Structure 1
Amino acid sequence: MTSTEQGRRKYDELAERYEEIFPYVADVGQLLVDYARPERGSRVLDVGAGRGAVARAALAIGCQVTAIDASKGMVDRLAADFPEIDARQMDAGALDFPDGSFDLVAAGFVIQVLPDADVALAEFRRVLAPGGMLALSLEKQTVGRLRWLFELAGEFFGAPVPSDDSPGGMTSDQLNALIESAGFIDIATDSVEMPVPMEDPAALWDWLTPRGLTDAVAALPEDKAEQFRLRFIAGAEHMQANGGISLDFKATLHRAGTR
């Protein structure tokens, strides 16, 4: 099974409870639509729509919404919940739409997980009409009070432990450079900060599952996997007892136009 197929299967499994595990998605989806400011009647494409955080925010202000996702489970659930939305299973890097089909292409927390972000951005540019708008949100990895977890991952998986100044992952400047290279203009950026509390260690584990934790632990020898689970629970319980389990969630919103 390819990594893309693995990703699709993970999100198929998460379709029913996606926004319970990722509680900030709906809020940032609304913020992204507010940032893009599409007019009523605008043709909107939501890429990597998931359960529809961006799509339903656009629908609520009278936009004509098409939503795509690589996960069939996500698409099926979105179509059932919002029959007004044209929901389709599709890859972000190979959009099955004619040139100039949309006034706004939006993608919430998608661009950083795509294997070829430049290819996807070129497709977004192609399907936008002249004068159209691109709107993206980018999750910013933070260390904060989760340093114990990064250090644990470094010990068991050899993952680099990021610093607070350079936490790793795609940066907003890197994304803006990609957006500019794809031919967009008038690039603007804004920041979002919101703490995301986790109820217990199990909730933190669930949050990390689609980010590869379960697969990484499963690849360890059985004794090492059990050691990791015990250390993870101990670390999360310590965090819970000392201020609670909370993610220092940050994101950037990106907006750009077309000629």
Structure 2
Amino acid sequence: MNESTWKLFDRVAADYDQVAPFFAEFGRAIVDVLDPPAGCRLLDLGSGRGALTAPALARGCAVTAVDAAPAMVERLAADHPAAVAHVMDAQALDLPSDAFDLVVSSFVVHVLDDPAAGVAEAYRVAAPGGRFAFTGGSARTAEFERDTRPAAAAPPLARRMDALFEEFAVHLPPNGSMGRVVDAADLLQEAGFVDLRVDHATIAVEFADNAMLWRWAMSHGYRAFIEDLPDEHRQEFHRRWMELPATDRVLQRTAGVWSGRKPG
């Protein structure tokens, strides 16, 4: 992860997931989907403040949590002393090979400088027969398990937010914001994972008003997009955000949980 990315997360660590429990809700939903047993050796890769770590510990997993942002790791260690927490780059893990039954990464792989390197490291540290699962920024372009269900329309608030980001993306400077669309299936296959599958985790988080919604946007990765807009477009983006209709204050999102097994 490049310096500008982890430094942004270092800056927002105090507020991260504190305005609204968006990532905590996803963490619980993802762990429910993966259903790790008690005693599972679990690596939380790009752990933030512990959205995955907390529900994994509650299930009796032995959790190691790593993140490139020191302030995130400091808070995770304070809140979840049962976890082993390290400041570490997901693309170059200082961890032994074949050490974890389950490696999980929530909304991290797509913001790495080299997503393939991060997935290759997950493969290295996974035990033979273990799985790696991740969410975030994936295009479904692989041929296996193609989802034939009709696409559902995004809920109103999510749809309006997505449209606003799409409209203002043209004003970003080259290489502005953070993250990219990745092909989860290709990344997993190229790293050597087999038995690929995709599950789905859905959450709904309620916001009191647009001011709260804005504070939330500025407390995580969306902030990179907003700060990278030129001044006049940033002011307009903020105005338009604050004018989002108040008829729906529930943000509903569904994430694909892509996973593969390390042979052995």
Please confirm whether the aligned pair reaches a TM-score higher than 0.5, indicating the same fold.
yes
Q: Which residue of 1 aligns with 2:142?
A: none
2:22 pairs with 1:24: yes
Q: Which runs of 5+ in 2 are unaligned?
A: 140-153
Out of 54, 62, 69, the residue aligned to residue 71 of structure 1 is 69
User: What is the distance in 2 between the residues matched to 1:116 and 1:79?
Assistant: 27
Greater Cα offset, 204-213 or 125-134: 204-213
Trace 1:49-198 onto structure 2 (pairs within 5 A).
49-139=47-137, 144-146=159-161, 147-154=163-170, 156-157=171-172, 169-170=180-181, 174-198=183-207
Identity of aligned pairs, percent? Answer: 35
2:228 pairs with 1:216: yes
Amino acid at match of 1:145: R
Amino acid at match of 1:68: V
Offset, 1:188: 1.1
User: What is the distance in 1 between the residues matched to 2:120 and 2:232?
Assistant: 44
Give the number of the structure whose residues are more often helix, by fraction: 1
Contact 2:10 2:69 in 1 (8 A): yes
User: What is the distance in 2 between the residues matched to 1:140 and 1:181?
Assistant: 15
Offset, 1:196: 4.1
Q: TM-score, normalised by structure 1?
A: 0.81
Aligned CA RMSD, in angstroms, stands at 2.6
User: What is the distance in 1 between the residues matched to 2:5 and 2:122?
Assistant: 21
Q: Encode CA deviations 1:157-209: one digit per residue, 9 max, x unaligned.
A: 379xxxxxxxx9526xx201211111111111122344444444444444444
Q: Encode CA deviations 1:5-26: one digit per residue, 9 max, x unaligned.
A: 2222211122122113463211
Q: TM-score, normalised by structure 2?
A: 0.80
Out of 240, 243, 252, the residue aligned to residue 238 of structure 1 is 243
Contact 1:32 1:136 in 2 (8 A): no
Whose radius of gyration is greater, 1 or 2? 1
Alignment length, in residue pairs?
Answer: 238
Offset, 1:68: 0.2
Q: Encode CA deviations 1:208-228: one digit per residue, 9 max, x unaligned.
A: 4433134313xx3xxxx2464
Offset, 1:87: 0.3
Offset, 1:76: 0.6
Q: Encode CA deviations 1:101-137: one digit per residue, 9 max, x unaligned.
A: 1111111111111111111111111111111111212
Amino acid at match of 2:135: S
Secondary structure of the equivalent of 1:239? Answer: coil
* 1:78–1:176 Cα change, 3 Å: same
Q: Which runs of 5+ in 1 are unaligned?
A: 160-167
User: What is the distance in 2 between the residues matched to 1:120 and 1:140?
Assistant: 15
Trace 1:38-49 onto structure 2 (pairs within 5 A).
38-49=36-47
Q: Encode CA deviations 1:9-50: one digit per residue, 9 max, x unaligned.
A: 211122122113463211221222222222211111100001
